[in-house]
């Protein structure tokens, strides 16, 4: 994690915060996405303030205290930051990610902008195609950065699935952390998957075409170990 002593503003995304604020939820994954650090506003107000140094110190303390045991799944520290409103969570994650190594990312910031702005609500929704009964969130859906340098497209394999936008966002964050240009999977039944790439021309129009691409390409490497 980067160092810095300046107090940063943390607040819920899409609530009119200044552009310099860090939108919550927010995750910092390790390179293999097996472990993450997550700041959370645990105060009564709409924002929390903390420096990156304070977050790093809290995370290191959790790791030394709670994660040294091989069976541990993490821990939480509270009363962090200049106003004591920030909590720091360290947790484990099991990614389902495959990296496509053919085309590297041209713009890191562009993908981070998508991840900071996409929905991340925690209520469970039913995802599927427009013709399927009971669907609340229609797939495929595409998110594109304002400069066109990063695209995130979310598909279904033809079956409906139930999950939250938070879990989809978390899978997208893991996908980005592992290999930047990749596909990841989400949903309670594993029927939702996504492609994250630097070029919209590379993305199939529907889930069946995307699955065909994933099954036939020779440029995939595993990103889960």
At 217, the pLDDT band (50, 70, 90 cuts) reads very low
Say what the pLDDT of residue 108 is. Answer: 73
Least confident interval from 27-36, 152-161, 177-186, 193-202:
177-186
Residue 132 or 188, more confident: 132
Give the other-Cβ count within 10 Å of 170's Cβ: 23
Say what the pLDDT of residue 18 is. Answer: 87
Say what the pLDDT of residue 216 is. Answer: 47
Residue 35 has pLDDT above 70, yes or no: yes
Say what the pLDDT of residue 196 is. Answer: 77
Residue 137 or 225, more confident: 137
Per-residue model confidence as pLDDT tens digits over 146-164: 888 888 889 988 899 999 9
Per-residue model confidence as pLDDT tens digits over 81-131: 989 999 999 998 988 887 765 444 556 778 888 999 999 999 999 999 999
Say what the pLDDT of residue 169 is. Answer: 94
Rounded-to-integer distance, Cα 41 and Cα 88, Å: 9
Q: What pTM value is reported for the model? A: 0.82
Say what the pLDDT of residue 1 is. Answer: 55
Q: Tell which residue, 125, 152, 145, has the closest CA to residue 136.
A: 125
Say what the pLDDT of residue 120 is. Answer: 95
Say what the pLDDT of residue 125 is. Answer: 96
At 223, the pLDDT band (50, 70, 90 cuts) reads very low
Say what the pLDDT of residue 80 is. Answer: 93
Say what the pLDDT of residue 151 is. Answer: 84
Q: Angle of helix 108-117 relative to helix 165-179, nearest 10 degrees? A: 170
- Ranges of beta strands (E only) in the chain are 8-12, 22-24, 28-29, 35-41, 47-50, 74-80, 86-92, 97-100, 124-128, 137-138, 141-144, 151-156, 161-164, 182-186, 192-197, 220-222
- Decide: 214 and 220 in contact? Cβ < 8 Å: yes
Average pLDDT, the chain: 81
């Amino acid at each position: 994690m980067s160092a810095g002593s300046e107090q940063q503003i943390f607040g819920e995304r899409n609530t009119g915060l200044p552009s310099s604020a860090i939108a919550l939820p927010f995750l910092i994954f390790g390179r293999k996405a097996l472990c993450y650090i997550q700041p959370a506003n645990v105060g009564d107000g709409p924002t929390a303030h903390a420096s990156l140094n304070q977050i790093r110190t809290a995370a290191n303390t959790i790791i030394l205290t709670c994660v040294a045991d091989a069976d541990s799944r993490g821990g939480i520290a509270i009363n962090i930051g200049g106003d004591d409103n920030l909590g720091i969570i360290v947790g484990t994650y099991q990614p389902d990610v495959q990296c496509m190594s053919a085309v590297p990312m041209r713009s890191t910031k562009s993908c981070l902008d998508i991840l900071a702005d996409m929905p991340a609500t925690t209520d469970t929704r039913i995802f599927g195609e427009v013709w399927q009964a009971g669907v609340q969130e229609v797939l495929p859906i595409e998110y594109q950065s304002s400069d066109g340098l990063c695209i995130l497209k979310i598909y279904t394999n033809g079956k409906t699935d139930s999950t939250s936008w938070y879990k989809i966002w978390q899978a997208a964050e893991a996908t980005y952390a592992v290999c930047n240009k990749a596909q990841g999977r989400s949903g309670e039944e594993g029927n939702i998957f996504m492609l994250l790439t630097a070029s919209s021309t590379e993305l199939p129009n529907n889930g069946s075409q995307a699955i065909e691409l994933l099954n036939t390409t020779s440029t995939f490497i595993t990103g889960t170990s």
